[in-house]
Amino acid sequence: MREPRRNLPSKISISFIVFLLVFISFFTNFNVVNAAKPDKIAPTVPTNLHAVEITDSTITLAWNHSTDNMGVTGYDIYQDSRIIATVSSNQYVVRNLNSTTSYSFYIKARDAKGNVSNASNIIKVVTASKASVDQPPQVGELQVSPIGTDGKTVSGTVTLSVNASDDIGISKVEFYSNNGGYLIRALTTAPFSVNWATDPWVPDGEQTLKAVVYDTSNQVTQVTRTIQVKNTVTTPIQNDYKKVGYFTGWSTYSNFQVTDIDASKLTHLNYAFAKISADGKIEVGDAWADIEKPFPGDAADQPYKGNFYQLTKLKQQYPHLKTLISVGGRTWSEKFSDVALTEQSRTIFAESCLQFILQYGFDGIDLDWEYPVGGGESDNINRPEDKQNFTLLLMKIRETLDAQTAKDGKEYLLTIAGGASKGYAANTELNLLHPYVDYVQLMTYDIHGSWDTLTGMNAPMYRDPESRFYSEWSVQDAVQTYLNNGVPGNKIVMGIPFYGRVYNQVSNVNLGLYQPFYGGGSSLSYAKIVADYLNKNGYVRYWEQDSKVPWLFNGSQFISYDDQESIGYKTSYIKLMGLGGAMMWELSQDPNKELVSKIYNDLQ
């Protein structure tokens, strides 16, 4: 008897089942892999690895944090392609090295999930030679000249100098005032002498000056001299201080308009920002806000409206006011290197600037290149030759504006917004470019911020001797850097911020000052600080006596800002040094005009 026929699966259906199982397995693995992908995204590469100090046995390295530093937990230090340390800060001292020996270094960023960035730039550094003798440098006494007939009284500007033996080589000499608390200047080449104006904030009486001499093996000798100071500093004559206010196009979206500006308290008004087009010409930054936005009472036949037209009406009301169009800024500086590159590109850009100011009724142009050679936004084009090309670009614009002056007899202004760091000075030819500009607006703010590892002051007027920063800086340092590089004092317009910088989750130590923090970067307008924070909701105002700036702290959040008291010290310094005036960033952050009025009254 035949067995009944069974319904067995065919070869095709078996193959289909196998295929289905393989597909499900692949799809499941694909989702698992893709779900894990975010955990495998490496941090961005740390940049600008460089040596900040070299001795015969140590090399101090420093670098810029990864741009996504919030997720970075450490930096791996590689010496000659082997890892030697992992640190959380952006500095490291390599020790126990051999003298006169070459070493190579690079670093990688590491996040909490173990992801590691690509390598930074590689640098090669040679350690210094050992001193031929173990004695510190031989230094004569600290000389002060001129000095009073009593042999110890000084006033006004004097010269400090030391004579140091060069038998073993002198690497650096630092001069300090304010009883050793303020670094006047550090020199690395002879002659070792500096000019010093007696500090107006130190009361008359005894003061100790100090010189610190370093040899090439980092041995140190200090010499001091106690003098009697009389603060009879002669204030340079300056009767036409510039009071420059920036008005930003985006202010119009927060309902601060051109009509809200008190132009009676300004001499110059900069409109920020125009940008650079793909073909290397200046162009409108925000068409709607700048030239299209309707205002009540605008002329029907006006070829452009918006803020530009309102500026022309403001000048009719205040004929003394000069308006400039600022081009670039933090966001729109990516094409400056291209327009400065060749004679042809410089000519095209300069001609477009002239046509722009003629078309829209401006009195000049303000270049805010952030920054030549390096720095700024990640999409910036940077070249080493930016240093020389920036000067050539300014020269070409100056020639173009002067040619128009010869035609119509009108003065056209050319200014720049200059960085307040040693790096900016090194990457520009300040001594060569200043003849082509009417003045430089020195961006003396953002000295400390969320990019640091500690809380700090946004715009300290002077250094704090008790600062915990490895390398401290101040408004005074920035001004002195420009003066040392040949920029006349009356062409330096000091920037004053109308905003504060915020640090979050700050250690409740030392009232929050110079403490670690987690998160920050936001800024608050002065008006917002006064309305919502100053002596409110647990925030207490404190004063840094050396830096002459306030801060707020509530036990967790730290806010560094400027107010009328700190601005008083800054306007006094402007007058003391014979500077060109004050620049204000930016006007919408002081809608009640408290800070504008303070500057105006002080610089009458």
Q: How many CA atoms does the CB half-sphere of 598 hold within 13 Å?
A: 19
- Sign of CA pseudo-dihedral 449, 451, 455, 457: negative
The terminus-to-terminus CA distance of the chain in angstroms comes to 123
272 class by beta-carbon count within 10 Å (0-12 exposed, 13-18 middle, 19+ buried): buried
Q: Which residues are CB-contacts of 435 (< 8 A; sequence separation ≥ 6)?
A: none
Comparing CA positions, the residue from 601, 587, 368, 598 lying closest to residue 498 is 587
- Measure the CA–CA gap between 210 and 204, rounded to whole angstroms: 18
AA letter at 602: D
Nearest to 459 by CA among 603, 325, 561, 345: 561
The beta-strand segments (E) located in 156-251 are 157-161, 170-177, 182-187, 193-197, 205-215, 220-230, 242-248
Question: Of 250, 149, 192, 241, which Cα lies nearest the Cα of 491?
Answer: 241
DSSP of 225-294: EEEEEE--PPPPP----EEEEEEEGGGGGGT--GGG--GGG-SEEEEEEEEE-TTS-EE-S-HIIIII--
Please list the residues that pair with 183 across neighbouring strands. 176
Joined tokens for residue 530: 């006064």
Residues 6+ apart with CB under 8 A from 325: 270, 271, 274, 282, 356, 357, 360, 362, 364, 365, 366
| E strand segments, 461-570 | 492-497, 499-503, 520-525, 540-544, 549-553, 558-560
- Using the 8-state DSSP alphabet, how is residue 359 labeled? H
**3-state class (DSSP) for residue 465:** coil
Angle (nearest 5°) at CA 196 between 192 and 198: 150
Torsional class of 255: left (φ above 0), alpha (ψ -120 to 50), beta (otherwise): left
Q: Which of 370, 429, 472, 544 is catalytic?
A: 370
In this structure, the number of other CB atoms found within 10 A of the CB of residue 287 comes to 12
Q: Is 565 a catalytic residue?
A: no
How far is the C-alpha of 79 from the C-alpha of 94, rounded, in Å? 9
Place of tokens 């340092």: 477
Decide: 126 and 56 in contact? Cβ < 8 Å: no
- DSSP per-residue codes, 135-146: SPPPB-PPEEES
**Cβ 53 vs Cβ 97: under 8 Å:** no
Supply 206's token pair.
């005894």
What are the residue numbers of the active site? 370
